[in-house]
C-alpha cells in the first residue's frame, strides 16, 4: 500500500494545513484509502468549505416549504396531498472535458437526487452557457451538451420543458451546464437520507462499480490547466436505460414500508452517500467492500470508495426486508447486495479481504471539515455612463431591432429545445420558448410552472444588484404564465474563492439573492455551489442560475405570451426610466461595457407582480410577457412572432427618445394584452394598486408599426429571430 505523506495529500487537492489537521484528528497518518475519503469529503464540491458561512444567511423557510436545504432536494407543498421535489445542480467541468457524457450524467444525477426522495420526475430544465460563438470550441461543445441533455432526458421519458442558453467570451475556457429536475410526490411518502436504528442492513443497488469518475468531485473543485485531456477518465459514463430501471425499482420498493433511508451515489460515490447518511443519523456504518458489485477486476478499496459510476443507490432497510427488496431489484435486472450495517460506533469502518482498511470518525469528515471565512473584496456601484444623445437619436430603430433580435443571446433557441422531448408523459401544457415551462399535475386542475434564469452581465457589473435581479427575473417569468411563485433552487457558478475579487462576487450575489427572496417571500429550498470555474487565471463572469417554481391552481387560467386578437390593447406594466447601461443595446450597438446594471426596486417587483396575478385571476389578461434582455421592443417582437400578429405602437409622451424607451432594461416590467371592453377595469385596478402603466398600442395583422413611420412585417421579425442559431449550427 502506498505510503501517505504531505506531497501525496496535496496531489489529492488538499492543502498542507488541511493534511496536518487530518493527522491531528486521526492522531495518526491516514492510509491511502482514508486520504482518498478525506480528499473527497473535504473538497469544495462536497464540503462547501468556502460558501457554508454565507449560505446560512439565505431565507429557507416558508408556509409552503416542507424540506429546505440539507437533503438531496428541496420539497414544497402544492396543496391537497401533493408536493414538488426540485433542485438544480452543476456539471460544468465534466461537460467541458467530455460534453456529451458530462451533460448526460449531469441530467442523470439531478434526476436521482429527486427520485431518491420518493418523487417521480415530471420535468427537466437546464441553464447552459458557452463561450463566444467565434471561439473554436464553442460549436462542438454546444452540440455535445445539447445531445447529452436530450439523450439522457429523452431516454428516461421525462420532458425538458424550459431552459436558458447564453454565449459570452468569459466561458471560452469553462462552460456551464446546470441541470434542474422537478418531481411529484405524495406528502406522506417523502423519503430522507438520515440513517436510523442499529444493525440495520446497508444495501447497494443499481449498476456495478467501475473505475469511471474516480476523483470526479475533486476535479470539480479545481481550476483547469493545459492538461484538460488527461482528466477525461474523471468524467462519469451514464446509462439512462439503467437509470430508468433504477427509478422504477426504487419507486416500487418505496410503495411499501421497507426503507429507513436512501441516498443516491453522486459526487464522491459510495464515500459521500455512506458518510452523509451516517452523519445525519449520528451513527456509524460498517461496509465489507468485497461485497460491492464491481464490473472491473482487482479494484482496490480506494477505487471502490471513490468511483463515481452512475445509476447507483445506497439504502438502509428495516431488518427482515432484504429478500422482499432483492426480489424487486432482481425483477428489474439490477444489482442488489447487502454490503454492511449501521453501528453505534459513529465511525465509518471499511473491510476488504478480511482486513480493516479504513476507520474514520464520521464527525471528522463532516462537522470537522474545514470552513473558511475567506477574504473578499467589496464591489463599487459603477458610475452611470453619459451616453451621446445624438448617437442615440441617429440610430435607426428597424436596424437596431434586427441586430438585437438576431444576436446570440436573444435569438430563438428552437434548434436546441427541438432536440429535447418536451411532450412525453402528455402533461406539458406550455413548452419551451415561453416565460416558463408548465406541466399539469395529472388527474387534477393544478399545474406547476418552472423557469431557470441567470444574468452574468448584471452580476459582473454589480454583484449585489445582479443577485437581486436574477431572483426577480424568475419571479416575473412565473407570474407571466399565471403561476404564484413558491420557492427557488440555486446553482451558484463562480471562479476561484481563493481570489478576493471572485469571493466578493459570490458573497454579494448571495446577499442580493437573499434580500430578494426574503422580500418576495420566495425562499431557497435547495441548491449547489460550483467554484473554480476558470482556466489558468481567467475566470467566468459570476453566474448564479436561479430555478423558480410556482403553482397554477387552475391550469385553464394559464397565460401564454403570443398575442391573441386584433383590436386588443397592449400595456406596459411598470415604469420605464430609460436605463441602458449594461443593456444589450449598450453592449451590442454602442460598444459600451461599463456602467451600473438597472436598479431593482423590490417593492415595485412585488406590487407589480401580485397585481398582475390578480388581473389574471379575474380573467382580464389575454397574453403576458415579462420585459428583460433587449427591452420593451424585444418582448413585443417575440409576442408578435409567437402569435403571428402585428401591433401598432405609439410612444408615450415622455422626455426620453424612442430608442431609450424601447431598448432600456428597467426592471419590474411586463407587457400585457387586454380587450378593449376590459381596459377600463384593468386600468382601475392598476391605479388602485399604484402600479405605473403605459398604454402603448393595439394589436393589428401581420405588421409591427412604430409611430406610424417604422414598419416591420412579422415574417421579417421571424427571420431576424430564428435564423442565427440554425445557420451557426449548420
* Residues marked as catalytic: 45, 91
The edge-to-edge listing of strands for the beta sheet with 623-626 is: 623-626, 670-674, 569-573, 693-700, 646-649, 703-706, 710-713
Tell which residue, 449, 641, 615, 631, has the closest CA to residue 561.
Answer: 641
The CA distance from 123 to 428, in Å, is 9
Q: What DSSP assignment string belongs to 601-669?
A: -HHHHHHHHHHHHHHHHTT--SEEEE--TTHHHHHHHHHHHHHT-EEEE---S-SS-HHHHHH---SS-
Distance CA 624, CA 481 (A): 7
CA 230, 48, 366, 111 dihedral sign is negative
Is 96 in contact with 154 (CB distance < 8 Å)?
no
> Which residues share a beta bridge with 204?
314, 337
98 touches 137 (CB < 8 A): no
In this structure, what C-alpha cell is assigned to residue 33? 484509502
Which residues make Cβ contacts (< 8 Å) with residue 323, sequence separation at least 6?
none
Distance CA 44, CA 51 (A): 9
Report the first-to-last Cα separation within the chain, whole angstroms: 53
556 three-state secondary structure: helix
Rounded CA-CA distance 512/58 in Å is 10
CA distances (Å), origin 476, targets 170, 500, 574, 657, 670: 27, 33, 12, 26, 8
Residue 94 has a CB neighbour count (10 Å cut-off) of 28
Integer Cα distance of 118 and 546 in angstroms: 24
Residues 34, 302 contacting (CB under 8 angstroms): no
Pairing of strands 538-539, 534-535: antiparallel
Residue 567 DSSP symbol: T
- Sorted by sequence, the CB contacts under 8 Å of residue 553 that are 6+ apart come out as 79, 445, 446, 484
Cβ atoms 476, 516 nearer than 8 A: no
Give yes or no for a contact between 223 and 496, defined as CB atoms under 8 angstroms apart.
yes
Contact status, residue 488 vs residue 524, Cβ threshold 8 Å: yes
Amino acid at each position: 500500500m502506498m505510503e501517505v505523506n504531505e506531497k501525496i495529500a496535496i496531489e489529492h487537492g488538499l492543502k498542507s494545513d488541511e493534511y496536518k489537521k487530518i493527522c491531528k484528528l486521526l492522531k495518526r497518518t491516514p492510509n491511502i484509502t482514508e486520504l482518498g475519503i478525506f480528499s473527497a469529503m473535504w473538497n469544495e464540491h462536497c464540503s462547501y468549505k468556502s460558501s457554508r458561512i454565507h449560505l446560512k444567511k439565505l431565507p429557507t423557510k416558508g408556509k409552503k416549504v416542507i424540506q429546505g436545504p440539507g437533503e438531496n432536494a428541496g420539497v414544497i407543498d402544492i396543496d391537497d396531498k401533493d408536493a414538488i421535489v426540485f433542485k438544480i445542480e452543476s456539471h460544468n467541468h465534466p461537460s467541458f472535458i467530455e460534453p456529451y457524457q458530462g451533460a448526460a450524467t449531469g441530467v442523470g444525477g439531478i434526476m436521482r437526487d429527486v427520485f431518491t426522495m420518493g418523487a417521480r420526475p415530471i420535468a427537466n430544465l437546464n441553464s447552459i452557457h458557452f463561450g463566444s460563438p467565434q471561439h473554436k470550441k464553442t460549436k462542438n461543445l454546444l452540440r455535445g451538451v445539447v445531445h447529452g441533455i436530450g439523450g439522457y432526458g429523452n431516454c428516461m421519458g421525462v420532458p425538458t420543458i424550459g431552459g436558458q442558453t447564453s454565449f459570452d467570451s468569459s466561458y471560452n475556457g469553462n462552460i456551464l451546464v446546470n441541470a434542474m429536475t422537478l418531481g411529484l410526490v405524495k406528502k406522506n411518502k417523502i423519503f430522507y437520507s438520515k440513517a436510523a436504528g442499529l444493525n440495520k442492513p446497508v444495501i447497494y443497488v443499481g449498476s456495478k462499480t467501475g473505475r469511471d469518475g474516480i476523483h470526479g468531485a475533486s476535479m470539480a473543485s479545481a481550476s483547469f490547466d493545459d492538461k484538460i485531456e488527461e482528466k477525461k477518465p474523471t468524467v462519469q459514463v451514464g446509462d439512462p436505460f439503467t437509470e430508468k430501471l433504477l427509478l422504477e425499482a426504487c419507486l416500487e420498493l418505496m410503495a411499501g414500508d421497507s426503507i429507513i433511508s436512501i441516498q443516491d451515489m453522486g459526487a464522491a460515490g459510495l464515500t459521500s452517500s455512506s458518510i452523509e447518511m451516517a452523519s445525519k443519523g449520528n451513527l456509524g456504518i460498517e461496509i465489507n467492500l468485497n461485497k460491492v458489485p464491481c464490473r472491473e477486476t482487482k479494484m482496490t478499496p480506494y477505487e471502490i470508495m471513490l468511483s463515481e459510476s452512475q445509476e447507483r443507490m445506497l439504502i438502509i432497510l428495516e431488518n427482515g426486508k432484504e429478500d422482499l427488496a432483492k426480489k424487486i431489484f432482481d425483477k428489474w435486472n439490477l444489482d442488489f447486495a447487502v454490503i454492511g450495517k449501521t453501528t453505534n460506533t459513529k465511525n465509518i469502518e471499511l473491510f476488504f479481504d478480511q482486513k480493516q482498511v479504513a476507520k474514520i470518525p464520521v464527525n471528522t469528515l463532516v462537522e470537522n471539515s474545514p470552513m473558511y471565512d475567506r477574504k473578499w473584496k467589496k464591489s463599487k456601484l459603477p458610475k452611470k455612463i453619459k451616453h451621446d444623445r445624438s448617437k442615440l437619436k441617429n440610430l435607426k430603430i428597424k436596424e437596431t431591432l434586427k441586430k438585437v433580435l438576431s444576436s446570440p443571446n436573444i435569438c430563438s433557441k428552437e434548434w436546441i429545445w427541438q432536440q429535447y422531448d418536451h411532450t412525453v408523459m402528455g402533461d406539458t401544457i406550455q413548452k419551451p420558448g415561453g416565460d416558463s415551462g408548465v406541466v399539469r399535475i395529472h388527474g387534477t386542475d393544478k399545474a406547476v410552472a418552472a423557469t431557470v434564469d441567470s444574468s452574468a452581465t448584471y452580476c459582473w457589473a454589480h454583484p449585489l444588484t445582479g443577485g437581486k435581479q436574477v431572483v426577480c427575473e424568475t419571479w416575473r417569468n412565473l407570474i407571466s404564465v399565471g403561476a404564484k411563485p413558491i420557492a427557488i433552487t440555486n446553482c451558484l457558478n463562480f471562479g476561484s474563492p481563493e481570489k478576493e475579487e471572485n469571493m466578493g462576487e459570490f458573497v454579494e450575489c448571495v446577499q442580493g439573492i437573499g434580500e430578494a427572496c426574503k422580500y418576495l417571500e420566495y425562499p431557497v429550498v435547495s441548491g449547489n455551489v460550483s467554484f473554480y470555474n476558470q482556466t489558468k487565471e481567467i475566470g467566468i463572469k459570476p453566474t448564479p442560475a436561479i430555478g423558480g417554481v410556482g403553482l397554477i391552481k387552475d391550469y385553464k387560467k394559464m397565460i401564454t405570451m403570443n398575442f391573441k386578437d386584433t383590436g386588443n390593447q397592449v400595456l406596459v406594466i411598470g415604469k420605464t426610466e430609460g436605463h441602458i447601461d449594461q443593456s444589450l443595446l449598450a453592449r451590442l450597438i454602442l460598444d459600451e461595457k461599463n456602467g451600473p446594471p438597472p436598479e431593482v426596486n423590490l417593492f415595485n417587483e412585488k406590487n407589480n407582480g401580485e397585481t398582475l396575478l390578480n388581473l389574471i385571476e379575474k380573467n382580464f389578461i389575454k397574453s403576458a410577457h415579462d420585459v428583460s434582455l433587449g427591452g420593451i421592443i424585444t418582448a413585443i417582437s417575440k409576442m408578435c412572432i409567437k402569435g403571428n400578429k402585428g401591433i401598432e405602437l405609439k410612444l408615450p409622451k415622455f422626455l426620453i427618445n424612442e430608442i431609450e424607451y424601447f431598448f432600456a432594461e428597467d426592471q419590474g416590467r411586463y407587457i400585457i394584452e387586454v380587450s378593449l371592453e376590459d381596459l377600463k377595469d384593468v386600468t382601475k385596478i392598476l391605479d388602485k394598486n399604484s402600479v405605473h402603466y403605459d398604454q402603448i398600442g393595439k394589436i393589428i395583422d401581420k405588421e409591427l408599426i412604430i409611430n406610424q413611420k417604422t414598419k416591420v412585417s412579422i415574417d421579417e421579425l421571424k427571420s431576424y429571430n430564428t435564423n442565427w442559431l440554425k445557420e451557426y449550427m449548420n
